[in-house]
């Protein structure tokens, strides 16, 4: 599946990354080096993504005994406005990260993340709630 990659105004993407569309990236986004972004990913405005982050939408149905990796699919990822994803974090398909959230470096995000929280760990869990500043 290959598709359009839309990149908003004043967005910076450093070298070495791979983006495979369809992908939508908002305005004023910063994507550090060697980031891997797979199809069906939407990144909001003012998001910061650290180096070596992986946004992996690819997965498979569970197949039978002779081949467990069945039919492939891409489950969408959505990253809310103002979010910061730390270095080396992995976000798997089907996850929505809320606005203003922080994903700690090295975390593996396997479930939705609410707005304005700090998550971390493997798998990532809420570590604390963050103040909401308007």
d(CA 91, CA 110): 7
Let me know how long the chain is.
Answer: 134
Do 81 and 71 meet the contact criterion of CB atoms below 8 Å apart? no
d(CA 63, CA 55): 24
Instruction: Respond yes or no: is residue 66 known to be catalytic.
Output: no
Structure tokens at 134: 């308007």
Cite the DSSP H helix spans in 20-75: none
From the list 2, 60, 65, 66, the catalytic residue is 60
Beta bridge partners of 55: 37, 91
**Catalytic residue annotation:** 60
């Amino acid at each position: 599946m290959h598709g359009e990659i839309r990149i908003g105004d004043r967005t910076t993407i450093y070298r070495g990354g791979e983006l495979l569309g369809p992908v939508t990236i908002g305005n004023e986004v910063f994507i550090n080096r060697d980031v891997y972004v797979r199809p069906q990913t939407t990144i909001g405005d003012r998001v910061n993504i650290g180096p070596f982050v992986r946004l992996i939408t690819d997965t498979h149905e569970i197949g039978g005994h002779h081949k467990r990796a069945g039919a492939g699919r891409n489950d969408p990822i959505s990253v809310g406005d103002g979010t910061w994803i730390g270095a080396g974090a992995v976000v798997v398909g089907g996850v929505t990260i809320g606005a203003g959230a922080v994903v700690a470096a090295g975390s593996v995000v396997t479930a939705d993340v609410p707005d304005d929280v700090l998550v971390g760990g493997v798998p990532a869990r809420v570590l604390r709630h963050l103040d909401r500043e308007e």
